[in-house]
């Protein structure tokens, strides 16, 4: 829903990113596990995570 709102207002090139932090109880936490810029060039391309996330792909 938020992504649809960003697309509607044409804010894709305003520096927005999808930022994922991960953690597990009694385990490590990974701030900035995956950070994906919301740009046309990045759309549909997988980005490798640094911790628990293997890959994240944002398509629009």
What is the tens place of the pLDDT at every residue in 9-55? 455 567 889 999 999 999 999 999 999 998 888 999 999 999 999 99
C-alpha–C-alpha distance, residues 28 and 21, integer Å: 11
Q: Do 31 and 53 meet the contact criterion of CB atoms below 8 Å apart?
A: no
pLDDT at 39: 87
pLDDT at residue 14, as a whole number:
72
Q: What pLDDT sits at residue 11?
A: 52
* Extents of the domains making up the chain: 2-56
What single DSSP character describes residue 25?
T
Residue of higher predicted confidence among 3 and 58: 58
């Amino acid at each position: 829903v938020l992504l649809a709102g960003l697309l509607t207002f044409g804010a894709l090139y305003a520096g927005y990113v999808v930022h994922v932090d991960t953690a597990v109880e009694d385990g490590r936490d990974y701030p900035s596990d995956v950070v994906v810029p919301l740009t046309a060039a990045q759309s549909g391309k997988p980005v490798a995570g640094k911790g628990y996330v293997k890959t994240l792909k944002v398509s629009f």
